[in-house]
Structure 1
Amino acid sequence: MKYLIVGLGNPGSEYAHTRHNIGFKILDALADASNIVFSDSRYGYVAEYKFKARTFILLKPTTYMNLSGRAVNYWLQKEKIPFENLLVLTDDLALPFGTLRLRAKGGDAGHNGLKSIQEVTGRSDYARLRFGIGDEFRPGKQVDYVLSEWSKDEDLDLPAKIDTCLEIIKSFGTIGTARTMNQFNKRK
């Protein structure tokens, strides 16, 4: 069984520690914990992670957030991964910091990365793990907020939240979306 796990973010060191790049940060943590390395490939940085007889293709698109759909579509086709085996890791302003929500499908909620995936694939019935980044910004400052770095307090809490994300990714591939949602969405 193959899975495509996509961490949304923007390439470049200027974005590395921003809220918008939580998808990249989660996949980097999985790679570090598993001693695997990303390679620069078409439309993104790619690594292969094996867990319980499953293969997870980890993708950090280099298309920038607004064109993430190109990378997702390419790698789904290249690796012949069924659409139901796609999991997208994304930041979410509507959730308080550190709140994790796995969903089997949904709209883009104004997120440009999710919007691009839906436009290119023509589908919105894919799993997404939403990582709450909160909404602590003044009107008109949303872009500045998502592209800003984590606060000191948030930075201290990130490792534990990211560890939970790694558990969710593994669970998604082994027991499926519905059971993983039941197990993790109720956690605080």
Structure 2
Amino acid sequence: MLRSVARQLHTISVDNGKPPLLILASIGNPESSFKGTRHSIGHYILNRLKHIYQADEQVTIDKNKFHCNRREQPQMLFYQSNSLMNLSGKPISKAFKSVHKWTDEYNPVLVILHDELDCPVGKFKTRRQMSSHRGHNGLRSINQHMGGGFTTISIGIDRPESKSSSAVANYVLAKVPPHDLDRIDRTIPSIQKTLEDMKLGKFIFDTNPNYKG
């Protein structure tokens, strides 16, 4: 069933010149138990960006809670998944579809913030729609529920020396060390610049050239 749903979602394309509405969504683990861990660095970045954009007002759309800055043109909605990382697909899909039904003035596009083992601490990568999940279970879950029509901002957390599954699990579930957090903080202005470009339509409508359709 999940595969049939995923096949129904195509890549997001420009819709009659409507301006994009960025749904900036973070995936990780529930902060009640996992706040500050490497696997939830997407939540940390989302909260920092909410502060920068003064997105302090909550709006509920079909029971999904978003934050935004109502004082400015609403080109960004901030959404934090409240599920475990491996189950990200269901809440992200529901939130994304609710915004599609909510507005006909904008072209909603989904941008996922997540941790990236294959990227050094203090770096980030932007990947286009229909890119591989590269073994990331959160992205895999989103793909299963709604297809690959989303852009990602991958925040580097580096890898442990050991490649064993237990070593990797312990690494991503450990707290981010203060010196690593300082390096991650220094990437935020560049991430914000990327978001400003996305608000103008850059990156978000691009598709991975290796995607076969």
Q: TM-score, normalised by structure 1?
A: 0.82
**Cα displacement (A) at 1:94:** 1.0
SS state at 2:186 partner: helix
Corresponding residue to 1:3 among 15, 19, 22:
22
**Cα displacement (A) at 1:153:** 1.9
CA distance in structure 2 between the partners assigned to 1:57 and 1:40 by the alignment: 9
Ranked by relative contact order (alpha carbons within 8 Å, sequence separation 6 or more), the top structure is: 2
SS state at 1:79 partner: helix
**Cα displacement (A) at 1:107:** 1.1
**Cα displacement (A) at 1:75:** 1.4
**Cα displacement (A) at 1:175:** 3.7
Amino acid paired to 2:189: D
Change (3 A) 1:59 1:178: closer
Decide which structure has greater helix share: 1
Aligned to 2:151: 127
CA distance in structure 2 between the partners assigned to 1:51 and 1:12 by the alignment: 28
Change (3 A) 1:31 1:25: same
Aligned to 1:112: 137
CA distance in structure 2 between the partners assigned to 1:126 and 1:83 by the alignment: 13
Rg bigger for which structure? 2
Aligned to 1:72: 92
Change (3 A) 1:149 1:83: farther
Aligned to 1:184: none
Deviation digits for residues 152-184 of structure 1 (CA, Å, limit 9, x no counterpart):
32122222112322222222122421799xxxx
CA distance in structure 2 between the partners assigned to 1:152 and 1:5 by the alignment: 25
Aligned to 2:176: 150
Size of the aligned set, in residue pairs, is 179
**Cα displacement (A) at 1:37:** 3.0
Aligned to 1:185: none
Aligned to 2:193: 167
List gaps (5 residues or longer) in structure 1.
181-188
Deviation digits for residues 66-120 of structure 1 (CA, Å, limit 9, x no counterpart):
1211112111211117887111111111111122111113111111110110000
Higher deviation after alignment, 88-97 or 130-139: 130-139
List gaps (5 residues or longer) in structure 2.
1-18, 207-213
Change (3 A) 1:67 1:144: same
Amino acid paired to 2:163: P
Identity %: 21
Higher deviation after alignment, 151-160 or 59-68: 151-160
Residues 90 and 142, structure 2, Cα contact 8 Å, conserved in 1 = yes
**Cα displacement (A) at 1:16:** 1.4
Aligned to 2:40: 21
Q: TM-score, normalised by structure 2?
A: 0.73
CA distance in structure 2 between the partners assigned to 1:103 and 1:152 by the alignment: 27
Residues 39 and 46, structure 1, Cα contact 8 Å, conserved in 2 = yes
**Cα displacement (A) at 1:43:** 7.9
Corresponding residue to 2:80 among 42, 60, 77:
60
SS state at 1:87 partner: strand
